[in-house]
Amino acid sequence: MIQTDQLTYWKNNTSDTVYVLNFWATWCGPCVAELPEFEKLNENYKDKNVQVVLISTDFKRNLENEVKSFVEEKKLKSRVVFLNEPRANDYINLVNPDWSGAIPATLIIANNKGYQRFFEKKLSYEELEAAVKAAL
Amino acid sequence: MIHFLASIAMTAAVALGGPGHGYHVGDKAEDFKLKNVDGKMVSLSEIPKAKGYIVVFTCNTCPYAIAYEQRIIDLHNKYASKGYSVVAINPNDKEVKPDDSYENMQKLAKSKNYPFVYLYDETQEVAQRFGATRTPHVYLLDADKTVRYIGAIDDNSEDADAVKDKYLENAIDALSAGKTIATTETKAIGCTIKWKKTN
């Protein structure tokens, strides 16, 4: 479980790690459809200091029965965290001021290179990889 | 440097029809005529004695829309007699999301006894004009149809009992008292609007 302070940490992080934060939910069709691309990216780039974090915005009451079982069923290898922060208005602008709050959304952070790239849409592997390569 | 790169990314998103388009607070909304679940065409100007309009883009299927359904019903019941009716609009394309069809809207409105109009934005023109991006997404208009508040209904989608800030109600109360609305824009997590593949 994470909260807004963890998002702030990633947003401001200046280490060499490239963070790929993906906001998703188990019930969100396009989110689930693009997860394999993030898994593939995670597999191909984890030795290149790229950390994929899949951030679930599911309702808290569904954490045990929906989120955990989804993760197990899909055998997700990327790091999966649950965003325990019901006041979305408090963190949406922090992630990106142009984010409307719709998911899926992805933020790629490489502050040591002065690079942040935000997407409010479902991504193809090509788009995702291109954005990550630009950060490396 | 970060801001510069971010604004390039933002421009790209807007150019593709993403967020950034649509009404801002202070813009005057154009009226529209959409089909209600009872088969009749409805426009804002036809709502009698309107002091304002609570336009809510919502749908049949999104868990966030479902979580807010009762609260939207309660809002209409509280404010319609005061001149502020809920005008619910489903902007989703049924090819992309079959359960958001007009027939299902009718079933849902009937089963829950919706006290407000639930309109079908079949061409998605109204949603695009407003700049709606997710469900639910609220636009509070005043009597002149000027946009006065945009965003979330309150600060807790999941749990109505744990709500601390009733953003929309605060805005309506301020508007009806002739006071300045303190918070004119908020955001919330929601489901993307299911745009037609050609839009």
Question: HEC string of A45-93?
Answer: HHHHCEEEEEEECCCHHHHHHHHHHHHHHHCCCCEEEEECCCCHHHHHH
* pLDDT single digits (tens) B106-162: 999 999 999 999 999 999 999 999 999 999 999 999 999 999 999 999 999 999 999
Domain count, chain A: 1
SS3 B184: coil
Domain count, chain B: 1
- Considering just the CA atoms, what is the radius of gyration of chain A in Å? 14
Q: Are B147 and B139 contacting, i.e. CB atoms less than 8 angstroms apart?
A: yes
Using the predicted structure, report yes or no on whether residue B16 has a pLDDT greater than 50.
no
Q: How confident is the model over B177-194, as a mean pLDDT? A: 94
Q: Pseudo-torsion of CA A13, A16, A22, A23, nearest 10°?
A: -10
What band does B17 get if pLDDT is binned at 50, 70 and 90? very low
What CATH number is attached to the domain comprising A99? 3.40.30.10
**How close, in Å, is residue B48 to chain A by CA atoms?**
32
What CATH number is attached to the domain comprising B31? 3.40.30.10
3-class SS letters over B50-94:
CCEEEEEECCCCCHHHHHHHHHHHHHHHHHHHHCEEEEEEECCCC
- Residue B3: the pLDDT is 55
Using the predicted structure, report yes or no on whether residue B14 has a pLDDT greater than 90.
no
* pLDDT single digits (tens) A122-136: 999 999 999 999 999
% pLDDT > 70, chain B: 89
Domain coverage including residue A97? 4-114
- Measured between CB atoms, which of A28, A87, A99 is closest to B155? A87
CB atoms within 10 A of CB B182: 9
Pull the structure tokens for residue A110. 């490489």
Using the predicted structure, report yes or no on whether residue B163 has a pLDDT greater than 80.
yes
SS3 B15: helix
Instruction: Name the residue with higher pLDDT: B149 or B9.
Output: B149
* pLDDT single digits (tens) A93-111: 999 999 989 999 999 999 9
Query: Of B132, B152, B112, B146, whose CA–CA distance to B193 is shortest?
Result: B132
Using the predicted structure, report yes or no on whether residue B7 has a pLDDT greater than 70.
no
Residue B5 maps to a domain:
no
Degrees to nearest 5, angle at CA A25 with A33 and A103: 80
- CA atoms of A76 and A55, how far apart (whole Å): 12
Chain B residues closer than 8 Å to A118 by CB: 6, 9-10, 13
ipTM above threshold 0.90: no
Using the predicted structure, report yes or no on whether residue B19 has a pLDDT greater than 60.
no
Residue B11 maps to a domain:
no
Q: How confident is the model over B66-74, as a mean pLDDT? A: 97
SS3 B108: helix
Q: Are A18 and A108 contacting, i.e. CB atoms less than 8 angstroms apart?
A: yes
% pLDDT > 90, chain B: 87
Pull the structure tokens for residue B37. 């679940």
* pLDDT single digits (tens) A24-54: 999 998 999 999 999 999 999 989 999 999 9
Give Cα B10 to chain centroid, integer Å: 23
% pLDDT > 90, chain A: 93
- Measured between CB atoms, which of B6, B18, B164 is closest to A120? B18
* pLDDT single digits (tens) B36-50: 999 999 999 999 999
What band does B20 get if pLDDT is binned at 50, 70 and 90? low
Query: Of A38, A11, A34, whose CA–CA distance to A118 is shortest?
Result: A11
Using the predicted structure, report yes or no on whether residue B18 has a pLDDT greater than 70.
no
Interface of B with A (CB under 8 A): 1-2, 5-6, 9-10, 13, 18-20, 63, 67, 97, 133-134, 137, 151-152, 155-159, 162, 164-165, 167, 186-193
- Residue B188: the pLDDT is 92
Please judge whether B158 and A59 are an interchain contact, meaning their C-beta atoms are less than 8 angstroms apart: yes
Domain coverage including residue B150? 24-192
